[in-house]
Amino acid sequence: MDFATLMTAMTGAVARGDGGAAASCFTEDGVYHDVFYGAFTGRSEIARMVDEVFHRDGGDFRWDLHDPVEQGGLGYVRYVFSYRSRLPAYAGRPALFEGVSICRLRDGLIADYREVANALPGLHAMGFPPQRMAKLLARQAGDLAARPEAAGHRRDG
């Protein structure tokens, strides 16, 4: 299946809460790096993430994909993503994000999924306090600095 079709299948399964179908879009050892929840490795963990984590904390998911491109086993697709919060303090409040999915592909499946997401506007719209948004921002900054491709950009002092 081509990259656009694969991503449409994966994101559609996530949106409807079908963890098994979402996980089937990944290799057996595939990794899903979520901007909020971190990394989930292997199909069973990816399915659990969708079924027990995403749909515990949110509902009414919508995930639209735009401008998918794939070359040489690497795929990118821009997205707009929204949901209604199920977190007790923010229940029913809508969140809207945009981002880019970055996928390493193997044998027609996703071997590694990560995203660059502009999450703070969605959290702000839900009513998250600044200190909670700062915690996410600090984690994302640390994650970026720790990636191998950032090695030449780290500066001490």
Find all residues with CB under 8 Å of 136, minimum gap 6, and list them: 36, 119, 120, 123
Structure tokens at 21: 């179908």
The residue-averaged pLDDT of 87-106 equals 94
Structure tokens at 135: 């915690």
Neighbours of 83 (CB within 10 A): 22
Q: Is 119 a residue whose pLDDT tops 90?
A: no
| Residue 140's pLDDT band (cuts 50, 70, 90) | confident
End-to-end CA distance of the chain: 48
Fold of 3-147: Nuclear Transport Factor 2; Chain: A, (3.10.450)
Q: Which among 37, 56, 44 is positioned nearest to 19, based on CA atoms?
A: 44
Domain ranges of the chain: 3-147
Specify the pTM.
Answer: 0.89
| Residue 105's pLDDT band (cuts 50, 70, 90) | very high
Structure tokens at 94: 């809508």
The pLDDT tens digits of the residues spanning 17-72 come to 999 999 999 999 999 999 888 999 999 999 999 999 999 999 999 999 999 999 99
Furthest-apart CA atoms within the chain: distance in Å: 48
- For position 156, what pLDDT does the model report? 67
Residues 116 and 114: their CA atoms lie apart, in Å, by 7
Neighbours of 124 (CB within 10 A): 13
Q: Is 98 exposed, middle or buried (0-12, 13-18, 19+ CB in 10 A)?
A: middle
Residues 106 and 31: their CA atoms lie apart, in Å, by 12
Q: What percent of the chain has pLDDT over 90?
A: 75
